[in-house]
Amino acid sequence: MNSRNDHIIEQNLEFPTRNILSGIFGPAPVQTGIYGDLSLPGYVVWVNHKPSLAQVPVQLGQTSVNVMALDGGGFSVGSATALNLIKMDDLLGMCRAVTSNNNGLPVNEIWIPQMICNQFHLAEGDMIEGIKVRLGCNNLIQLIHQASGSEFKVGNDPLPPWIRRIITSLGVSTGQFLLFLIPLFIFGWTTLLIGVFTIAFLAILLAIFWKILPGNGWLRGLVCGIVAGSGIAVFLLTGLAWTLTSALLLGAAAIIIGTWMGGILMGFRPIQNS
């Protein structure tokens, strides 16, 4: 175990096992840290996204590299980079941890997926904490093959971050819709339809304005919720001639859903190993 400030970097973690239901309601985080056997010299950088990490033992069995799982809130690399959830400090901390604690084996290079390199403006050959950066694929299995010495061409540029944010938001809103389904349906079809529309609308609104809104996800969600809730209330009052009370109640529901969606788009904190 290695510590940087108050952040503890777990090492020698075991890859998670596959679970069909994981991530059905939203992001699926596992513990951040270094997955694999530290006696191996190869390192790749990834995020703490359970479904992709769980593929490694299934598809590769024994790996010849270690995976440095950064905190991406449980989102995939594409989503985590689009939402700016990965922190450079985490990457630096992991690099320090492996250089100081690798059973004496020198760590010459780390393979970093193209999308993370783009977020941190890293290029092939750059040095981090004395380790050479290698630009790798955006697929974990291919990235591991690259780090093991196989030739893999880095694919085309990924989709622009704003499109990935919208796709991620809609995916998250689908998960939240499943979670909200029964509570909304208890109150009838109309409530269900309005709830689903509000969730999807706020997810798209958050995706569009995510980068320009201040604060963390909760605050961004609150701001989006207030804007959307005010718009909905004004529309109900002027367009549909609803009462002020009903417009305010629907506006309040939008604020609550917006704040919740903003919080979910920050990702989750995983359950820490004791």
Q: Which residues bind other proteins (CB under 8 A)?
A: 25-29, 71, 73-74, 85, 87, 176, 179-180, 182-184, 186-188, 190-191, 194-195, 198, 216-218, 236, 240-243, 245-250, 252-253, 256-257, 260, 263-264, 266-271
Which CB atom, from 7 or from 96, has the smaller least distance to other proteins? 7
Shortest spacing between CB 260 and other proteins, in angstroms: 5
Which CB atom, from 101 or from 191, has the smaller least distance to other proteins? 191
Task: Yes or no: say if 134 and 111 are a contact pair by the CB < 8 Å rule.
Answer: yes
Burial of 117 (0-12, 13-18, 19+ CB in 10 A): buried
Shortest spacing between CB 102 and other proteins, in angstroms: 28
Query: What letter represents residue 262's amino acid?
Result: G
Which CB atom, from 147 or from 264, has the smaller least distance to other proteins? 264
Placement of tokens 């995916």 in the chain: 171
Shortest spacing between CB 79 and other proteins, in angstroms: 14
Which CB atom, from 28 or from 147, has the smaller least distance to other proteins? 28
Phi, psi of 216, rounded to the nearest 5 degrees: -85, -175
Which CB atom, from 74 or from 136, has the smaller least distance to other proteins? 74
Q: How many CB atoms lie within 10 A of CB 133?
A: 22
Query: Edge to edge, what strands does the sheet with 42-47 contain?
Result: 2-4, 7-13, 33-35, 65-70, 42-47, 109-113, 131-136, 127-128
Shortest spacing between CB 252 and other proteins, in angstroms: 5
Shortest spacing between CB 269 and other proteins, in angstroms: 4
Shortest spacing between CB 257 and other proteins, in angstroms: 5
Which CB atom, from 24 or from 127, has the smaller least distance to other proteins? 24
Q: Which residues of 151-177 are buried (b: 16+ CB within 10 A; e: fewer)?
A: ebebeeebeebeebbbebbebbbbbbb
Nearest in space to 46 (alpha carbons), one of 178, 127, 126, 146: 146
Shortest spacing between CB 30 and other proteins, in angstroms: 10
β-strand pairing of 127-128 with 131-136: antiparallel
Nearest in space to 150 (alpha carbons), one of 71, 80, 65: 65
Shortest spacing between CB 190 and other proteins, in angstroms: 6
* Residue 79, C-beta contacts closer than 8 angstroms, at least 6 positions apart: 27, 72, 164, 165, 167, 168, 171
Which CB atom, from 19 or from 39, has the smaller least distance to other proteins? 19
Which CB atom, from 209 or from 268, has the smaller least distance to other proteins? 268
